[in-house]
Amino acid sequence: MLLIENGYMIDPRSGREGNYDILTEGERIRRIGRGLRGELTAEEREKCRILDGEGLLVAPGLVDVHVHFRDPGFTHKEDILTGAEAAARGGFTTVVLMANTRPPVDREETLQYVLQKGKTTGIHVESCANVTLGMQGRELVDMDRLAAAGAVGFTDDGIPLLDPALVRAAMEKAARLHLPVSLHEEDPSLIADNGVNRGRASEYFGIGGSPREAEITMVERDLRIALETGACVNIQHISTREAVELVRKAREKGHNIHAEATPHHFTLTQEAVIQHGTLAKMNPPLREEEDRQAILRGLAEGVIDLIATDHAPHTEEEKARDITQAPSGIIGLETALSLAVTELVDKGYLTMKAVLEKMSANPAALYRLDAGYLAEGGPADIILVDTAATRVFTEYASKSSNSPFTGRELRGVVRATVCGGRVIYRDSAGPARNVEEGEES
């Protein structure tokens, strides 16, 4: 048993908030109320572990529906175990893995490897399967078999789907399976050098860069097909103001349209690539201030309903290459919540409840996961956060450290992460270290 006392609870799904205690038993929440220690029997008090949440926010464990753990095939960058450690440190108790591994997750065997290894971590590891065999964009995977084997959605993230007939077929099948399709929206035929915005940044490096039209044309096409098929789709890591408006108009016509923003896209612009070089190179690229502002408005107005990290580990050696040769992507699991507090809450764009909704309840609902809420009988996946404290990020639990946020002081520190009723991460400082040791059950 675990009892969290004296914290300020926010449940984004129900809207309930206030000073409550939370008592867990096994992997579920047994009671939410006040003065719960007094309700315990003498035997229960002896075996109950007490976590003091005084001065802390108590919230559902975060849910990230866009992460790369590089396992199998690229485990020198990250693996499922180290990725899970990074997730727990960042307050994430559930993650959905992307399928662009080696081999890709286009067959049951690879999916089962990922899911089984995920069960050895302290968090909930779910996985998408690919849309196409080998991520070649030519032939659909056996979506029925992969769904039956545990895939929670489908994506070829990292490689856009270019054949509109194939996209339509995939969406029709996914709609019948009631599973989402997540889409990486970049038309390679329009891109000279990806990862850098065509504009001031590409001019600085003397390269062609990626124009905004590469995203806009794909988003426009796929939203049209989604509305025609009734499929549930997620427009991944949105980066342009035009794409935000396209999503806005599509959401007015259909309820199964979703879009995600990454912390780096709502925080940084192409100026960061000029400053940090390859550490701020990503697909789609960081764009202009007007695009960042449009993303912030989209988040505030609910047009963008998800915040996802696109956690993409790469080695120091890979990121040390020339701007055109280095891989795109940054890590994000450990900095995401702090960036949301610093850039969204502190600056008045979103309330803390709205941030939690976009980082727990909404992502869980998209993938139909039992996560992202606090309720009696619900999952005992809980985080304790000091929203007033700051941290300078210098070291990471991830195998990789490719982040433009290294060395930056950010507000909002995860003090403890509880998953399935077990404390799987505890910060070395702050009120959350005040724990009475006892048995967990």
Known active-site residue 310 = yes
Q: Compute the distance between CA of residue 364 and CA of residue 95 in angstroms, rounded to an integer.
A: 10
CB 340 within 8 A of CB 296: no
Contacts within 8 Å (CB) and 24+ apart, 424-432: 424/88, 424/93, 424/122, 424/123, 425/85, 425/88, 425/89, 425/122, 430/56, 430/386, 430/389, 431/52, 431/53, 431/54, 431/55, 431/56, 431/386, 432/51, 432/52, 432/53, 432/56, 432/384, 432/386
Radius of gyration of the CA atoms of the chain, in A? 21
Cα torsion for 371, 376, 377, 379, to the nearest 10°?
Answer: 30
Count of beta carbons in the 10 Å neighbourhood of residue 101:
23
3-state secondary structure of 23: strand
- According to DSSP, the β-strands at 382-392 and 57-60 are antiparallel
For 297, the 3-state DSSP assignment is helix
382 C-beta neighbours (distance < 10 Å), count: 28
Catalytic residue among 52, 310, 381, 386: 310
**Residue 436, class by beta-carbon neighbours within 10 Å (0-12 exposed, 13-18 middle, 19+ buried)?**
exposed
Query: 51 has which bridge partners?
Result: 4, 435
- Residue recorded with tokens 């940054």: 330
Give the start-end residues of each E strand in 61-192.
62-67, 92-97, 124-127, 154-155, 181-183
Identify the bridge partners of residue 259 per DSSP, sorted by sequence position: 235
Active site residues: 310
